[in-house]
Structure 1
Amino acid sequence: MSEFIGSIWWLIVALGVLVTFHEFGHYWVARRCGVKVLRFSVGFGRPLWMRRGKDGTEYVIAAIPLGGYVKMLDEREGTVPANLVDQAFNRQSVWKRIAIVIAGPLANLILCVALFWTMFVVGRPDYAPVVGEAQGIAASGGLHAGDTVLAVDDRPTPTWSEVQLALIPAALDHADTKVRVRTVLGDEATRTLALSKLPDSFDERRAVEAIGITPRHLLMPALIGRVLPDTPAWGVLAEGDRILAIDGEPVTSFDDIPALVRKLGERGGSAMIEVQRKDDRLALELAPRRIKKPTGETDWGLGIGPAVPQEPAKDAVLRYGPVAAVPAAVREGVHQANELFAMIGRAFSGRVSVQNTVAGPITIARAANMSAQHGAGWFLQLLAMLSLSLGILNLLPIPILDGGHLLYYLIELVKGSPVSERAMAAGQYVGLALIAGLMGLAFYNDIMNNLVR
């Protein structure tokens, strides 16, 4: 399946699940409040499939899978038979109308926790939270290669993704952060990262890199991909050799080699290069010499190049048992909700770019496809995050959203009478303008982040 087709397919699947649960929340509560539901539609436009239930409700799957709706009997939208007036939405008490409207976002919040629970039970393959290289702020804070990150502040980090999710908000806030680690010697220690020293402007998408941390799984393996003719390595080293040590100094990645070779060349003479060749461990004597680079400069070298890096195998799994997954799912839902509110606050205050905050359908589609390729656990996590976002954003007091209707009903409770139709119509225009602007920004971000780059 191509990336384009896969992205469209998984976007449809994601929206189908989220919209169905959202609208089912409205539908379920409306039925229990005595309101007649005329249509339950997943998608907009021409119906592709339709079935009429015994209760008279039309269940529809429509052609445009970018939303959905529940149409209820309402005197404001058409003539209602006298025998059905008591089942009209507008004739219900304000508390029933509030319950029906709020049920959609609540359904998404409940679905979010359920999806996190399923993810924890199924398991999400990931990488171990091991530091491969520490520079800059990370090195100044005491992090070293081989440290296993156990927690960032008070948030446990069983996998590298949790390390990223904890460090990125702290970096955006320029907040000094405590990191609990287990060193290569097995001792536990707490380090402090002075994130307040980060520059005012840095690439928000590469916050962890700006801190100076490279995880172990992203280090380029010390695997030889080519040996250049007429160089010290020619006839001694071979493609496929993994360099283990140079002159007794261990090598963990290909990035370690230039500095060690330069040190050896400046010292003069030869040294032993330890390599793994298939099942054999060999010690080979080599003396580096100055080699001309493509830039025209010369530097000490052996005459070798790295192998094309492949995606490393995941070496950790985020998983809980069915019982332990319940509180873990609730905690994760609450934590991610807090982070979402914090990110909205950062966007409004200008601390983060709205270009990296508001995502459109292209970004969501690509993320859905990528997460699906990584496995069920990753796709479930994305669905949970999208469901949470949909639930919270729908509660914002913007007319035409559920939160806007709730605002009208709260005003009705205070003043003792419904908001006038004129005020509601004006609010609808304001809401449409805001939503149109938000959609325009989302599409603009999609173009800038995915097509122009």
Structure 2
Amino acid sequence: MNPLFGSVFWLLVTLGVLVTFHEFGHYWVARRCGVRVLRFSVGFGKAIWKRIGKDGTEYQVAMIPLGGYVKMLDAREGDVDPALAGQEFTGKPVWQRIAIVAAGPGFNLLFTVLAFWLMFMLGKPDLAPVVAAVPQSMAAEAGIHAGDRILSIDGRPVATWSDSMDAVANAMLGRDPLPLQVRGTDGTQRNLVLPLDRLPAGEDIGQYLDTLGLKLAPLPPVAATVLPGKPAAEAGMQGGDRIVSINGQPAAGYDDFQRLIPLEAAKSPHLHVIVERGGKAFPLDITARKESLEGQPVTWVIGVSSLEHEKAVLRYGPAKAFGAALQTTWNSAAATFNMIGKMLTGQASTKNLSGVIGIAQVANASASMGLGWFFSFLAMVSLSLAILNLMPIPVLDGGYLLYYLIELVKGSPVSERVMMAGQYVGLVLLFTLMGLAFYNDIHRFLPT
């Protein structure tokens, strides 16, 4: 699928699912509390599809997919037929209004647990946390060696590459020294400390990761498979041969080998390759060919494939998956609140915010990696929506909850004047936040 089309498509799928679930929470609890629902809308603006349900509610899908709403019978928006007074929103007890407003974020939280539960049952294909360090980087100075396997980070066990990187990324927000335990290729376990306190302030997570220099261990320059009838096989290369050099250029890893083949073949297709087999060096003369592999652009090839990174898949039965889903939801919520707190106090950069463009890109990438990854992505976005909507900003659910809590304390509703002023302040804050996130998305496309 074209990356642009894929990003737009999976963004619409993501927003459609999560907005529907959020608004259904408001709708369902409102109906349970006896409030008449006039309209259930996924999206804003002009309707592109709508129908009237048996309950009298107008259901619609609107043109602008960045949200949705549930319109209830509300005396603040016009006169209410006396016969319907018992179904009007503001006439309900304050605890029912709180329940209706809180139901949207609450349903997003339920969806988060459900999505993580499905992810753990389906399995999320990943790689083992076998790492290396960029030379002269923080990770190298901390004692990370090529082939080290991360066992735990800050006392918490990790089993996959993405889990370990998530833990490191979260720790970077506070920029405190981070303890981790690794096992080397010789089987010895070591306790190390990543000096995150030396990271400069005010950068985003991506730049911090570059500075840290912790990366997935590179594949060795080994020809795992030599394809019959291809140049390497015709020259005598065998599966398991270790490529030492190409035209005198050393190949420290398989990435070097892949880089050197087209680079040297562009000068001359006749390549002098040294391989190691059984502890002995064998010189081979290989004539590269230009081919297109699996629909990819034409390039120079010799017909070998690499070893694969060690796989790690988290997959549980229903009961264990549910427990893991609850724990992951809790940990992710704690990490999100930690990030918000760090940004509010200036300890973390607002460059870490992402908007619609960033979400679309991650949606497409996660969908291409499999259903488990897409459920994980949906869970994180749903959790973010729940937390965002609970923030005490007028126009968001959290703002209305604040008004109703004040009403509980003072015994009377907040005045219309205060609510209107809050709406304007809330809109300014919300558009500022959205503008900052959009700016970050655009800035990531620009050359540094």
- Determine if the TM-score, normalized by the shorter chain, exceeds 0.5: yes
Measure the CA separation in 2 of the matches of 1:451 and 1:42.
33
Partner of 1:319: 315
Partner of 2:176: 175
Measure the CA separation in 2 of the matches of 1:167 and 1:100.
38
Report the CA distance between 1:45 and its aligned residue: 1.9
User: How do 1:321-336 residues align onto structure 2 when only pairs under 5 Å count?
Assistant: 321-336=317-332
Normalised TM-score (structure 1) = 0.80
User: How do 1:42-441 residues align onto structure 2 when only pairs under 5 Å count?
Assistant: 42-133=42-133, 135=135, 136-200=137-201, 204-216=205-217, 219=218, 221-222=220-221, 243=242, 253=253, 274-275=275-276, 283-284=280-281, 315-355=311-351, 357-441=352-436
Contact 1:243 1:274 in 2 (8 A): yes
Measure the CA separation in 1 of the matches of 2:209 and 2:425.
39
Other structure's SS at 1:162 match = helix
Contact 1:274 1:282 in 2 (8 A): no
Report the CA distance between 1:449 and its aligned residue: 1.3
Measure the CA separation in 1 of the matches of 2:356 and 2:306.
29
Measure the CA separation in 2 of the matches of 1:212 and 1:245.
25
Measure the CA separation in 2 of the matches of 1:414 and 1:30.
23
Q: Which runs of 5 or more residues in structure 2 are unaligned? A: 224-234, 258-272, 284-300
Partner of 1:29: 29
Measure the CA separation in 2 of the matches of 1:310 and 1:375.
22
Measure the CA separation in 1 of the matches of 2:307 and 2:371.
18
Higher deviation after alignment, 407-416 or 186-195: 186-195
Measure the CA separation in 2 of the matches of 1:314 and 1:145.
14
Q: Which amino acid aligns with 2:97?
A: R
Contact 1:146 1:184 in 2 (8 A): yes
Contact 2:131 2:150 in 1 (8 A): yes
Measure the CA separation in 2 of the matches of 1:92 and 1:5.
46
Measure the CA separation in 2 of the matches of 1:365 and 1:273.
45
Contact 2:202 2:349 in 1 (8 A): no
Measure the CA separation in 2 of the matches of 1:307 and 1:350.
53
Deviations 1:141-176 (A, max 9, x none): 333222211111122211101110111222332212
Deviations 1:265-324 (A, max 9, x none): xxxxxxx96436xxxx683267xxxxxxxxxxxxxxxxxx99999996672212222111
Change (3 A) 1:4 1:74: same
Q: Which amino acid aligns with 2:115?
A: L
Deviations 1:233-254 (A, max 9, x none): xxx99899953669xxx98625
Other structure's SS at 1:441 match = helix
Q: Which amino acid aligns with 1:124?
A: K
Measure the CA separation in 1 of the matches of 2:344 and 2:34.
41
Measure the CA separation in 2 of the matches of 1:335 and 1:28.
28
Higher deviation after alignment, 1-10 or 202-211: 202-211
**Residues matched between the structures, number:** 401
Change (3 A) 1:446 1:255: closer
Higher deviation after alignment, 81-90 or 339-348: 339-348
Contact 2:44 2:65 in 1 (8 A): yes
State, as a whole percentage, how many aligned pairs show the same letter: 51
Change (3 A) 1:30 1:320: same
Q: Which runs of 5 or more residues in structure 1 are unaligned? A: 225-235, 258-271, 287-304
Measure the CA separation in 2 of the matches of 1:27 and 1:432.
24
Change (3 A) 1:206 1:164: farther
Q: Which amino acid aligns with 1:283?
A: K
Measure the CA separation in 1 of the matches of 2:376 and 2:62.
27
Change (3 A) 1:274 1:5: closer
Report the CA distance between 1:55 and its aligned residue: 1.4
Contact 1:125 1:318 in 2 (8 A): yes
